[in-house]
Amino acid sequence: MADQPNYDEVIKALQEKYDKIDQDTDDHLYGLLYSKPITYWDYIQTDALLNLQIQRTTLPDEMVFIAYHQINELIFKMILWEISQVAEKEDLDVTFFEGKLMRISRYFDMLSTSFNIMREGMEVEQYMKFRYTLTPASGFQSAQYRLVEFASTELINLIDYRFRKDIDRNTPFVHAFEHLYWQAAGKDHKTGKKSTLLVNFEKRYKDEFLRFMETYNNKNLWTRFKELPEKDQKDKELVKAMRHYDYTVNVSWVMCHYNAAVHYIESGIGDGEATGGSDWKKYMHPKYQKRIFFPELWSADEIKNWGNNL
């Protein structure tokens, strides 16, 4: 006969659990009598999820655009989830750090290798039509993308090169915020006036960004890496994983994104302008901004040639 489950043991453990939070165990057991058995669709919330793809036009390929962006946002969420575990970890060690970093990297690798879904997966003619209904919005307004950056590196590495010498750890966050590299995409470079794209983005997220910047100031991936013992900071596999992540986010993904933009915006259809209105060709290519999360892990030559040969 199969082993009988030891109910007494389970009941005792449940009682201990509920006693700790001043709850009656029998109430919770009665609740079990009436609770619905779980199904896949209730658990995964498939109905809710599959009702979130709302087109603004009649063009079928707009569905690809919406769904792929949503998939990206879900993956950004998973990346932030893993980073927050490194940020919060007490007694952080090299094995934990490396394991999480590999998870984060795999997500970003997936975003890079799948980007052809954007580049090849929509008809240029359709894209160039439905994008008219998206102005002045842009993926630039993805808040989670910005959070991934804040959580990955020291703030100084996200500051526009032109202003780095005037900014340090004592600079108030509101001031640093105005000099983040991405401010350049949303400002008229002659007058400094902010575009609607940027004004809307800040109205919605600036307060949250400032809080997040402060929170991650001392527990982003780089500061946590620097807290590891010297010998762990030299661990070959960990350094390789850090460099891989940096390169994937700041070169591979950026190039896939740039190439998709060239494919559509320079297709000869339309005016060559970005929906967000930036000077996009200069802004998006990695060789101009040389965004690098972990500059100490790259040689002077590697930094000098960042994105140059692409």
The residue ranges that bind ligand HEM (CB under 6 A) are 68-69, 72, 118, 138-140, 142, 145, 182, 185, 257, 260-261, 264-265, 274-278, 280, 283-284
CB of 118 to ligand HEM, least distance (A): 4
Q: Which residue's CB is nearer to ligand HEM, number 181 or number 225?
A: 181
Angle at which helices 94-113 and 62-88 cross, to 10°: 170
Instruction: List helix spans (H) across 114-233.
Output: 116-119, 124-130, 143-152, 173-178, 196-216, 221-227, 230-233
Least distance between ligand HEM and beta carbon 255 (Å): 12
Other CB atoms within 10 A of residue 269 CB:
13
Residue 300 beta carbon to ligand HEM: minimum distance, rounded to whole angstroms: 24
Which residue lies nearer to ligand HEM by CB, 93 or 123? Answer: 123
Complex with ligand HEM: residue 224 or 257, whichever CB lies closer: 257
Nearer of residues 18 and 68 to ligand HEM, judged by Cβ = 68
- If the CB atoms of residues 18 and 264 are measured against ligand HEM, the closer one turns out to be 264
Other Cβ atoms within 10 Å of 153 Cβ, number: 23
Cβ count near 82 (within 10 Å): 19
| Residue 224 or 278 with smaller CB distance to ligand HEM | 278
Least separation in angstroms between residue 72's CB and ligand HEM is: 4
- DSSP H helical ranges for the chain: 7-20, 25-34, 40-44, 46-49, 62-88, 94-113, 116-119, 124-130, 143-152, 173-178, 196-216, 221-227, 230-233, 236-247, 254-265, 280-284, 286-289, 300-304
- Rounded Cα–Cα distance for residues 104 and 109 (Å): 9
Minimum separation from the CB atom of position 209 to ligand HEM (A): 13
Query: Shortest distance, CB of residue 18 to ligand HEM, whole angstroms?
Result: 44
